[in-house]
Structure 1
Amino acid sequence: MQPDHSNSQTAIHHLARLSDCVFALAMAITFMGFKLPETVQLLSNLEVNQFLTGQLKSLGIYIIAFILVAFYWINHTQQFSYFKRTNETHLFIYTLYLMCLLVIPFSNDLVFRLSSNPFAKIWFNTNIFLIGLLSFTSWIYATHQNRLVGEDLDIQIIRSMQVKALIEPVCALISIPVALVSPDFSDLVWLLIPVVSLVLNKALRQTSRSNVMPVSNQLVE
């Protein structure tokens, strides 16, 4: 007798909608770190220019946080495109994942206010690391023996998603010791993410083609 997955399939759709809402909320709240001075209308042109120049560092911090959350959202949508169902353990893992995600605005605000403090940067990096670790754990749990994904899901897709899920947390780990030496320089580590992603996607495509070619040759023979 086949197990009834209807409730589980409904739950995965609800979890996907909840996750999208949490991602949108985290992105929106992160932007609230910007505040205009109460006397903004009384400022001279020179003071306005000085104020805007002083916000450039905060803008850079916001952009980094937004891009990191965006990368996690992309990874999240990719994972959910393969999930067929869920269970209590997976829901618990993903709830922890969303909880850490909602801490991002606080971590970002902490960096806003203490941008030169290494421990503020370490807190932020640890937050990013935990999100990535839980995302990786969720995928490993879901794909183990095709527990929550389709039986025909290609092993190459499973492995590539595993590697992609580790990009952000590995960069976060690298950024922690850098923050102890230079808090400002640690932000540059995040520039590795799009570069590593591009190189990794290219490598995975080449690997996929190399695995397909022998099969095609065998069919011809």
Structure 2
Amino acid sequence: MKGLIEQDKIIQTNNNISESILSLARLSDSIFAFAMALMVIAFDLPEDAKAMTDGDINAFLFSQVKPLGTYVITFILVATYWISHSRQLKYLRRTNETHLWISVGYLMVLFLVPLSNDLVMTFPDNFLVKVWFSLNIAVIGFVSWISWSYATGDRKLVDSDLDEATIRSMKTKALIEPICALISIGVAYLNQELWDYFWVLLFFAYSPLEKYFNKSAELV
């Protein structure tokens, strides 16, 4: 009888842990979805839209090309972080209060992205705005790295037999965006126009960078 009671307690504990991870996943998905949706609010129609001529409308549409590019880049960056966050959650088997607070901090910084996106679209030629955007993206990645490092330290929150190669690979992937974001600040300092193209280049270079750093992690 005592053994059955102990077994019931273990099952109940595991169920509570699983429910906590599921709740974290649901909260994360909601925040990511809301942040992505909010970014489109930065697009504003002219106040006198009904009085605009075809020429005015065409000029307005062409003026939105650069803000649209900023929106696409930011959306892809957030989507990349969502994929990375989902990968981490897949390996979690339990959580604790410290990890939950790290996750809350991660989501808090992530939710600043719509503001950063709005600032860049409103003040595209301001250096400090671009620094703010880059730092926002960088901090998200570094907090993600901290979260994964904490979860895998001594295998606290993951399977005890999770291989070291997977742990290193996930840590490496978590650092790609934040390191590139910090580099972009130097690019903006040298030439603000190049800052915009840097993020476009990163979009195409991300997959090769990921493969390169994965191979480097395997050699360690």
TM-score (norm 2): 0.88
- Which amino acid counterpart does residue 195 of structure 1 have in structure 2? A
Task: Give 1:1-221 correspondences, 5 Å limit.
Answer: 4-190=13-199, 191-201=201-211, 204=214
Runs of 4+ deviating beyond 6 Å: 205-208
- The whole-number CA distance in structure 1 between the counterparts of 2:141 and 2:79 is 13
- The whole-number CA distance in structure 2 between the counterparts of 1:205 and 1:179 is 30
- The whole-number CA distance in structure 2 between the counterparts of 1:153 and 1:193 is 30
- Which amino acid counterpart does residue 73 of structure 1 have in structure 2? W
- Which amino acid counterpart does residue 197 of structure 1 have in structure 2? S
Deviation readout 1:117-140 (Å, 9 max, x if unpaired)? 000000010101110000000000
Unaligned runs of 5+ in 1: 211-221
Deviates further, 187-196 or 111-120 = 187-196
SS in 1 for 2:94: coil
- The whole-number CA distance in structure 1 between the counterparts of 2:213 and 2:180 is 19
- The whole-number CA distance in structure 2 between the counterparts of 1:8 and 1:44 is 60
Unaligned runs of 5+ in 2: 1-5
8 Å Cα contact 1:174/1:189 also seen in 2: no
- The whole-number CA distance in structure 2 between the counterparts of 1:199 and 1:6 is 39
Aligned length: 210
8 Å Cα contact 1:168/1:193 also seen in 2: no
- The whole-number CA distance in structure 2 between the counterparts of 1:17 and 1:94 is 12
**1:151 Cα offset (Å):** 1.6
**1:202 Cα offset (Å):** 6.5
- The whole-number CA distance in structure 1 between the counterparts of 2:178 and 2:122 is 24
**1:153 Cα offset (Å):** 1.5
- Which amino acid counterpart does residue 115 of structure 2 have in structure 1? F
8 Å Cα contact 1:171/1:189 also seen in 2: no
Label 1:193 to 1:143 Cα distance change in 2 as closer, same or farther (>3 A): farther
Cα RMSD for the two superposed structures: 2.2
Label 1:53 to 1:195 Cα distance change in 2 as closer, same or farther (>3 A): same
- The whole-number CA distance in structure 1 between the counterparts of 2:189 and 2:213 is 33
- The whole-number CA distance in structure 2 between the counterparts of 1:169 and 1:127 is 9
TM-score (norm 1): 0.88
- The whole-number CA distance in structure 1 between the counterparts of 2:144 and 2:176 is 11
- The whole-number CA distance in structure 2 between the counterparts of 1:8 and 1:107 is 35
- Which amino acid counterpart does residue 211 of structure 2 have in structure 1? N
